[in-house]
Structure 1
Amino acid sequence: MADSENMMSPGERTRRGVLGDAHVDKAQAATTEFDAPFQDLISTSAWEKVWSRPQWNRRERSMVTIALLAALGHEEELAMHIRATANTGASESDIREALLHVAIYAGVPAANTAIRIAKHTLSEMNAAKAGDQP
């Protein structure tokens, strides 16, 4: 495992640390010649050049990302980043606070949709966690 970890780019290490190996493995398995340049772009720009910067920790980046995705109405990415909070340290309370900011600064309809998605995603996460326990 250490050898494969050493072979990863810094962006891929960060992406795996935030989104989890299963998500990244699934995305990589679905990559085609058509979208390979896009996958490389996001791995380098988002995960290596932004998410790997030391100025904010993963929890802070997670909250900002959730707020931005909610404000912009990117529902699928929002759910993905809510699931990623299991790895970033952002809590349900952090998510709620970010979405309250969305309501004030980006509008109640955007926050309403985001809260619906967050409730559904968090419910799935909690159910999965409960299923993992004996």
Structure 2
Amino acid sequence: MPENDTSTGERTRRAVLGDAHVDRTEVARTDFDRDFGAFITEYAWGGVWSRPGLDRHTRRLLTLAILCAQGNEEEFVMHVKAALADGVPPEELKEVLLHTAVYAGLPRANRAFALAREVLDAAGEG
């Protein structure tokens, strides 16, 4: 497993979410949530997302499916935007959501389709 370090996590986080998103998030940090942000960067981005067992594209699709299944709308939208910016085609996003509908439920997938469609429309890909 890669070392859990902030620099690896920061590089991975920026590669997955984009500099603009990370910069906005960091500017908004306060003393209250700064340690939590460092924790996420070190363990989620530096530990899990940086592991060699799955490529980043697969991790991205898994993340979208899990966020859809859990109903985590803000995180889902953020990751849809990042996926599109990284070249994930809308057709592939659609397949992930269809597959998730079978295993996580139609209401969650229905909502995820609506959210993804809003992101696609805003990006001119809808």
Quote the Cα distance in structure 2 between the aligned partners of 1:26 and 1:122: 21
Partner SS for 2:124 = helix
Deviations 1:7-66 (A, max 9, x none): x70100010011111100000000011001110111011111111112211211111000
Q: Which residue is equivalent to 2:29?
A: 31
Which SS does the other structure have where 1:116 is aligned? helix
Q: Please name the residue that 2:66 is paired with.
A: 68
Q: Which residue of 1 aligns with 2:50?
A: 52
Q: 2:96 matched to which residue of 1?
A: 98
Q: What TM-score do you get using the length of structure 1 for normalisation?
A: 0.84
Of 94-103 and 118-127, deviating more is 118-127
Q: Give 1:22's aligned amino acid.
A: A
CA distance in 2 between counterparts of 1:89 and 1:57 reads: 15
**1:21 lines up with 2:19 in the alignment:** yes
Q: Find the counterpart in structure 2 of residue 12 from structure 1.
A: 10
**Displacement of 1:87:** 4.6
Is the Cα–Cα contact under 8 Å of residues 62 and 88 in structure 1 kept in the other structure? no
Q: Which moved more, 1:55-64 or 1:112-121?
A: 55-64
* Letter paired with 1:60: T
As a proportion of its length, which structure holds more helix?
1
- Which structure would you say has the larger Rg? 1
Q: Distance in 2 between matches of 1:68 and 1:124?
A: 23
Q: What secondary structure is seen at the aligned counterpart in 2 of 1:126?
A: coil
Tell me if the contact between 2:84 and 2:90 (Cα under 8 Å) persists in the aligned partners.
no
CA contact (8 A) 1:103 1:110 kept: yes
Percent identical among aligned pairs is 47
Q: Aligned partner of 2:91: which letter?
A: S
TM-score (norm 2): 0.89
- Opposite residue 85 of structure 1, the aligned amino acid is A
Q: Which runs of 5+ in 1 are unaligned?
A: 1-7, 128-134
Per the TM alignment, residue 91 of structure 1 is displaced from its structure 2 partner at its CA by 2.0
Contact 1:17 1:87 in 2 (8 A): no
Q: 1:58 to 1:126 in 2, by over 3 A?
A: farther
